[in-house]
Structure 1
Amino acid sequence: MGETIQQMRNQLNEYWQEMDKNKRKKIIIISVIVVLTVVILTIILSRPKYEVLYEDLSLKDMAQITKKLDEMGVKWKTPSKDDTTTILVPADMKNKIKIELASYGLPKEGYGFMDAFKESSWTMTDYDKKERMKYALQNELSSTISEIDGIENATVYIDIKEDTGFVLEEAELETTASVFIERSDNRPLKAETIAAIKNLVAGSVNMDPDNVKIIDSEGKLLTDEQEEDFLLTDQFVIKNNLESKINDSLKAFLENVFGPGNVDIRSSVKINFDSEKTSVVEFAPPIEGSDEGLIRSMEQIEEHMVGGTAAGRPGQDSNESYPMPEDGNEKYDKISNTINYELNEINKEIRKAPGQVEDITVAVLINKNAIVDGEFTPALEEEIVDLIYAATGLDTKQVQVVAQNFRTTDLDEEKDKKSINWLAIILSIAAASAGVAYGIYRRQKRQEEEKEIGSEIDEETLIESEVQDLEFETEESKMKAQIEKLVENKPEIVAQLIRTWLNE
């Protein structure tokens, strides 16, 4: 085998040596061309083929889709550097990428008028064309409404009523529309925003704005009047909640020093519910630390003259020259430089969210009895004010601190009444118990006496005994009633009497 290969080499070498130079050059050139062709074809065929994923995209959708593709690790490109509406992806991944992006709700603008016109054909019926146009209109309106501040996403449904052609039609049908919106935050939509959405949808199909219904993600029907009421109510609730939070926080904070029930706080909060949008344009040099920008254009003009005057334009009289010395050795030089610098233009859009706290006023009432030595000094007042400024953590404009004796008379009277009521109950129970015990004692004693005297008792004696018992019980009941009446009408006397007994 080795000998055969060696023989072939020798034959080729002899053939190559016998060949003239022109043939050799031609063979070399052809070989190089064949090799380059094979390499180029290999590169082209092995390179992934890109197809259009989406086209005619808005800048918002373009930014969101490209960001998501980068997160997915998918290579993408645009047809040209200046094209910002078309995205190309590898052909073998196109369908998979579309499904993945659809799960994230991208693109949000969806089907548009351009798609409706592109997909039309001669086989399409008038009904199909109208439905495609309606679908495109719904998507265009949804995309437009989603651009409004405070709205994250919107979906529009339009029911276009057409003339049936019947003369004896009972009622004229009107076109209606429904708009489903998702808010970007918890702020309610303003009345003018809702009215603008209604007029936008109504104007697109020439219908009455009252036939446009707007529903939010919470299932509420939004109207011009309701949203204004909701706005005022929400503002009032937010203000009250913030004031209550500040009051409770400061009260708990100061009660650590003055004790529970010795501090009362009242605060008033001013909140700005207006939304503010500011656009700022700044110019700065492209090189940090430099006062000059990059040179955009530069023009330099130099004029030199030696021993004479500059010539004027043909056909015009030259200006009168000033007298010059006769030696003719004077010089005239003029250099003019015009430089245009390129600066960076920075556009900033600053949005101020509503609900900003502008200022707070706090009033503090302290129980004078809880202050050490009962003296409210200016130094103590200043110390409390500084603590409140630091504790609120907000822009507190004014703090007023007052020390007064808290009124506790009503509380003492209620305590005395409760103690007197308990004394009356105890005395009543004690009197009743004493009466019952005394009656039982008398009966037992009488029974013992009857046994000693004899078993026979005159009937008259029994009657007298029963009468005496009744009389005793009657007197005992009267005594109990008098005690209860005394406790009810003169509780302070009974209380004083009990205190005297206890002291003795």
Structure 2
Amino acid sequence: MPERIQTILNRIIEWWKQFTSRQKALLISAVAVVVMSLGILGFVVTRPTNMDIVTAKDATEANTIKGLFDGQSIWYEQSQDGMTFTIHKKDEADATILLGTNGIYSNGYSGSTAESDYPFSNVVDGSFTATEADKQRKSQYFLQKQMERQLQSLSNVKSAQVNLNIPRDDGTLAASKEEASANVLLGLSDNMSGDQAAAIAKYIATGLGNTTTKKITIIDSDDNILFSGGEESTLAGQASSNLTVKQQTENYVANKVKKVLSENSGGNAVYDNVQVSPNLSMDFSKKKISDYHYYVNEGMTQGYLNNRSEKTTSSDNGVSGVPGTDSNDDPTYVMQDNNNSHSESSDVTEDYLPNETVTVTEGDPGAVDPEKSSIAITAYNNVIYDEDTMKANGQLKGTTFDEFVAKNSAMTTTTPDTALITAVSHATGIPEANISLTSYDVPQFHYSENGRSWIDWLEIAMAVLIFLLLGFVAFRSFRKEKEEEAAEEVSVETLLEEQQEEENLEDIGYNEKSEARLLIEKFVDEKPEAVANLLRNWLNEDWGE
């Protein structure tokens, strides 16, 4: 491998040395210009467009907006006073819904962001004949367009139609408390969860100034109800939320099982593909259990005395003697005559304070009952059959690879390791008896390539690239020479002189002697030395060049 790389490098160096300094400079300049052009183009195309999304009313609201953007990782910039927030244009929809969900109006509702087909100026630009009702209708229409534009910016929304019914403000208390209603029709490019629909409803309610979402309904183009007014407080809304929680919990359990069966500490997969279908038993009912326990301290039979009250009463009744100076009666014996009586009563109330322990247990809604839950797992293990390897090992004697593929193309059931079921049980808390694991071997057939390796293809690509560059340089050089030759100017006088000389000397070389030839011969005969010197000078000039 290193030798091949060195060979390629040597070829590149030899190819580079073939060029002149001028050609090298031309190539380097061309490549530099192309790279710089692509870099500038990429920077211009990918540079995000910024926009002002919201202007805070005070420092408290500005701090709230800053926290919301930081929590959702939305890029933003603050003005010098810290009140105006600027974001990327592509994040406008997410930021507007985030602000609307938290009860903050974006600039889309204050008029700083204009709708191209219905600008905000149409709302406030009235005439003497425009009534307050006309202005309210314009404002309502503008708000509809703003909401439609914001909703269409969502990733899974292709189109949006918003119809608003805003009560007329006649100055009465009843009118001020009446909430506006909205019905929304969405054309979706992908599924929308209940949480997303609830977020959109909250965003619309905030834009309308409603405190609840009771009068907001959202449907899609397939007549499916995505959100029904006040759904968060209804049984249907609660059921939808519970279903979402259950799906999220099942996905969490499925991912844990996949980690157990598809990964290990060495980085190799136990199975190449694992499908997990959990069926979790979840209880979403709210339970509250109060347990009272009374006891006294050790060595005591009762608690501490808190208060004590005692009430005693007595009474006597009978016939008394005559008051005055009457003489006494004769002596008699005392005998009961049932005419006199005496009674006493006592009422004692004591209040003791025994020790008291109160235990209040509240059930967790959405708790998983492992004993009633189950998991079905289907695992697939790929078995590779390579034609070249099998030929080298002699496994294809007496048969062809195609015949082997035809006989062994079906999946085969394997016996899974019970230790894996135990591992899944420990990871999820579900008993082993409630876990089903089925495993298969899936054959994968790799035919012989009988072709070039990637190194060979790399060499071919390098050679093609070299030839293309050589052709480009040769073309540029040839074109330059042609331009230089074409740049030589020939005057009209020169052309006329050459034509005259050709006409004067056109008869030289024929049997008939022209006047010029006779003059030359006469000059040679009369002055041979001058002719010799002239020839000698011509020869010297030719050799010197």
TM-score normalised per structure 1: 0.28
TM-score normalised per structure 2: 0.26
User: Which structure shows the higher helix fraction?
Assistant: 1
